[in-house]
């Protein structure tokens, strides 16, 4: 990890996005007190971290972790004892993740999807303020992925703060309200999903008189935001308007542009590049999948 | 504390290997301790063994006053199997990664260690009680003298046995935590107990024959608690009491093992 600083506020569904090996699990391991940090600090609920603060968090790191020979119920009883909560919610959380019928079966007999669901049930058990989910859909089939995502969205709607680590842009986009992008332990980006990933593309515009140009664009009714960059203005448009519409408006105003370029979201491209440079073939297939989704 | 015991109980109650090993251990322990009488009679019938011409079946192995040192001394040879059980119970937590999940869920490192120490304490208490009950039964069958006034003479060896097994199991816990892998840890525990330390001590005693510091090595110190009792049946002088110095030494070792285990938990990343 290198100089990473993040803040997650109550009620956010916060995605930590990055390819494998980018430091997602390490970051989560540090704030859950199972990985030693060289320096730096973190706080939970505005206080110094302790075992008590961890009891208010429901977390899974990497793979679901349970005693293979114990049933779902016995495994959750152990969690309840550690967290100091009553066992009365066990049936309810198993119902939530739809494992009720198999609750007396040993964990080792479960499919991967059921194991992931039990992990989520375990994280939900103490009715925590914060949930931490690390690659919750890893290794699942499309149906399993859809189920888990639906479950996360459902939990988020109850107002819980969720921190979700994933290497899937698509997943973060579908589930999260805010997100951060990590690469090799460094923070590349942090912000809200709506701002960064959805909404319309941006348009780069330049003209001889930049201040006049900016003034004119501000008056364009479909302009959402204008941000000056080195050589041009970056304009975000709404209402499905594109560079053609903007150009038409500027010409009507008597402004001739010297540079006009429609850009698909730059962050997305940056993220795709991060993934593409990764040698992992699984990730490459993800790139293709993601690219298709946004084509 | 009841919470930690409840957690460990949930883990063990449906863990078949634990119960199978435990039952096997107690069956073997019971057979060994109660079989000495038959063995001595067998020796007598074949005329084997060097008993200075005495009848081996006349050896008062189970006589009260003698019985506790004899039984506990014999029983310590089997404690390695309890060591294996303790190793398995700790290395399982690493191979299942449940130790990490426990910390994430809100257990402190000390609580985790304490839950394992409670298991060791429970095993040691049950094990000592087993020897007590078996000793009382065997004594009441074979001992020519009986009665409350003689039954518990020399029973300080039971306390020594309790310490012997308890401290050894704490050592097994440390080895399990250090190695994390079940197979490796079991092999290393057995190797150290039976070969590395004894052979190392032998070599050191050759090189530094004027010093006796190898007496203070952990396994040797634990084994010194209950001295070999059988010499007296061949008219040799034996130590027939528990030395306070030995008790102090192994208690210090127990504290050291617990401290080192805790340091390991504190200083390392908790991973599988």
Lowest mean pLDDT among A25-39, A55-69, B188-202, B235-249: B235-249
Lowest mean pLDDT among A129-143, A274-288, B199-213: A274-288
Looking at residue A31, what is its pLDDT? 93
Determine which of A26, A51, A85, A133 to mutate to test the interface with B (most B C-beta atoms within 10 Å): A51
B128 to chain A, minimum CA–CA distance in Å?
29
Q: How confident is the model at residue A56 (pLDDT cuts 50, 70, 90)?
A: very high
The rounded distance, in Å, linking the Cα atoms of A182 and A193 is 15
DSSP characters for A83-142?
A: HT--GGGHHHHHHHTT-GGGTTSBGGGS-HHHHHHHHHHHHHTT--SEEEEESTTTT--H
- The dihedral over CA atoms of B261, B267, B269, B272, expressed in degrees to the nearest 10, equals -10
Looking at residue A280, what is its pLDDT? 44
- The dihedral over CA atoms of B246, B249, B250, B251, expressed in degrees to the nearest 10, equals 120
Nearest by CB to A83, which of B100, B106, B111?
A: B106
At residue B247, does pLDDT exceed 80? yes
pLDDT, tens digit (0-9, with 9 covering 90-100), for A198-257: 555 788 899 988 888 888 888 888 888 888 888 888 888 877 788 888 889 999 888 889
Looking up tokens 């009620």 gives: A11
Looking at residue B48, what is its pLDDT? 61
Q: How far is CA B243 from CA A124, A232, B14, B159, B213, in A?
A: 55, 89, 41, 12, 17
Q: Are B160 and B72 in contact (CB under 8 A)?
A: yes
pLDDT, tens digit (0-9, with 9 covering 90-100), for A122-141: 999 999 999 999 999 888 88
Q: How confident is the model at residue A35 (pLDDT cuts 50, 70, 90)?
A: very high
Looking at residue B246, what is its pLDDT? 93
Q: Are B201 and B155 in contact (CB under 8 A)?
A: no
Q: What percent of chain A has pLDDT over 70?
A: 87
Lowest mean pLDDT among A278-282, B4-8, B21-25, B141-145: A278-282
pLDDT, tens digit (0-9, with 9 covering 90-100), for B18-49: 999 999 999 999 999 999 888 888 877 776 65
Question: Mean pLDDT across the stretch A32-46?
Answer: 91
pLDDT, tens digit (0-9, with 9 covering 90-100), for B108-156: 999 999 999 999 999 999 999 999 999 999 999 888 888 888 888 888 9
Question: Mean pLDDT across the stretch B240-253?
Answer: 92
Q: How confident is the model at residue B50 (pLDDT cuts 50, 70, 90)?
A: low
Token pair, residue B6, equals 């409840």
Question: Mean pLDDT across the stretch B229-256?
Answer: 88
- Number of other CB atoms surrounding residue B2 within 10 Å: 9
Q: What is the ipTM of this complex?
A: 0.90
Nearest by CB to A54, which of B3, B106, B268?
A: B106
Nearest by CB to A34, which of B14, B98, B103?
A: B103
A87 touches chain B (CB under 8 A): no
B31 touches chain A (CB under 8 A): no
- Nearest alpha-carbon partner for B272 in A164, A35, A37, A80: A35
Token pair, residue B8, equals 């460990």
**SS3 category, A15:** strand
Cα atoms in the Cβ-side hemisphere of radius 13 Å centred on A85: 23
At residue A283, does pLDDT exceed 50? no
pLDDT, tens digit (0-9, with 9 covering 90-100), for B62-88: 888 889 999 999 999 999 999 999 999
- Number of other CB atoms surrounding residue A40 within 10 Å: 10
Beta partners for A234? A204, A227
Q: How confident is the model at residue B172 (pLDDT cuts 50, 70, 90)?
A: very high
Question: Mean pLDDT across the stretch A165-189?
Answer: 86
- Number of other CB atoms surrounding residue B38 within 10 Å: 11
Question: Mean pLDDT across the stretch B92-119?
Answer: 96
Looking at residue A265, what is its pLDDT? 61
Token pair, residue B225, equals 């608690």
Q: What percent of chain B has pLDDT over 90?
A: 68
Q: What angle do CA B134, B135, B140 make, to 5 degrees?
A: 100
Question: Mean pLDDT across the stretch B217-231?
Answer: 91
Search chain A and give the residue with CA nearest B100.
A34
Contact A82 B98 (CB under 8 A): no
Give the residue, A1 or B191, on which the prediction is more confident. B191
Looking at residue A292, what is its pLDDT? 28
Phi-psi region of A240 (alpha: psi -120 to 50; beta: other; left: phi over 0): left
Give the residue, A42 or A276, on which the prediction is more confident. A42
Cα atoms in the Cβ-side hemisphere of radius 13 Å centred on B15: 17
A66 touches chain B (CB under 8 A): yes
Residues 113-152 of B with CB under 8 A from A: none
Contact A82 B6 (CB under 8 A): no
Q: What is the mean pLDDT of chain A?
A: 84
Nearest by CB to A32, which of B7, B11, B104?
A: B104
């Amino acid at each position: 990890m290198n100089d990473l600083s993040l803040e997650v506020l109550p009620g956010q569904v916060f995605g930590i996005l990055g390819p494998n090996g980018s430091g997602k699990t390490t970051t989560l391991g540090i704030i859950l007190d199972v990985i030693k940090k060289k320096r730096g600090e973190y706080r939970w609920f505005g206080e110094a971290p302790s075992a008590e603060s961890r009891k208010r968090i429901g977390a899974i790191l990497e793979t679901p972790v349970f005693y293979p020979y114990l049933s779902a119920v016995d495994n959750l009883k152990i969690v309840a004892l550690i967290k100091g909560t009553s066992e009365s919610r066990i049936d309810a959380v198993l119902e939530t993740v739809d494992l009720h019928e198999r609750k007396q079966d040993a964990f080792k007999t479960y499919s991967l999807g059921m194991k992931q669901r039990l992990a989520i049930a375990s994280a939900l058990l103490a009715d925590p303020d914060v949930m931490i989910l690390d690659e919750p859909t890893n290794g699942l089939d499309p149906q399993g992925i859809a189920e888990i995502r639906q479950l996360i969205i459902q939990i988020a709607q109850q107002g819980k703060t969720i921190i979700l680590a994933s290497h899937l842009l698509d997943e973060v986009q579908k589930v999260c309200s805010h997100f951060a992008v990590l690469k090799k332990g460094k923070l590349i980006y942090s912000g809200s999903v709506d701002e960064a990933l959805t909404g319309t593309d941006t348009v780069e515009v330049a003209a001889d008189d930049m201040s006049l140009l900016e003034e004119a664009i501000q008056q364009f009714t479909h302009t959402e935001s204008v941000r000056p960059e080195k050589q041009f203005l970056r304009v975000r448009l709404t209402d499905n308007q594109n560079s053609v519409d903007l150009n038409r408006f500027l010409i009507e105003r008597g402004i001739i542009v010297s540079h006009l370029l429609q850009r698909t979201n730059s962050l997305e491209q940056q993220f795709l590049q991060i993934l593409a440079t990764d040698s992992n073939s699984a990730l490459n297939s993800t790139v293709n999948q993601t690219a298709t989704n946004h084509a | 504390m009841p919470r930690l015991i409840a957690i460990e109980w949930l883990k063990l109650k449906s863990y078949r290997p634990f119960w199978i090993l435990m039952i096997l251990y107690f069956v073997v322990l019971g057979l060994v301790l109660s079989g000495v009488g038959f063995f001595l009679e067998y020796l007598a019938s074949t005329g084997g063994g060097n008993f200075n011409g005495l009848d081996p079946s006349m050896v008062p192995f189970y006589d009260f006053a003698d019985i506790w040192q004899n039984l506990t001394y014999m029983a310590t040879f089997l404690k390695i199997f309890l060591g294996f059980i303790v190793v398995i119970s700790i290395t399982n937590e690493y191979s299942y990664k449940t130790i990490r999940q426990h910390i994430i869920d809100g257990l402190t490192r000390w609580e985790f260690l304490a839950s394992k120490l409670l298991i060791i304490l429970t095993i040691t208490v049950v094990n000592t009680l087993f020897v007590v009950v078996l000793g009382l039964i065997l004594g009441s069958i074979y001992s020519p003298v009986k009665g409350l006034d003689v039954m518990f003479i020399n029973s300080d060896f039971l306390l020594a046995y309790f310490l012997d097994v308890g401290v050894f199991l704490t050592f097994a816990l440390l080895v399990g935590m250090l190695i994390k892998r079940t197979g490796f840890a079991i092999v290393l525990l057995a190797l150290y107990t039976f070969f590395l330390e004894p052979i190392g001590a032998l070599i050191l005693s050759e090189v530094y024959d004027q010093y006796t510091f190898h007496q203070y090595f952990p396994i040797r110190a634990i084994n010194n608690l209950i001295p070999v009792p059988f010499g007296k049946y061949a008219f040799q002088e034996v130590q027939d009491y528990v030395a306070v110095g030995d008790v102090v030494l192994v208690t210090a070792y127990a504290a050291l093992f617990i401290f080192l285990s805790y340091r390991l938990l504190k200083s390392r990343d908790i991973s599988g």
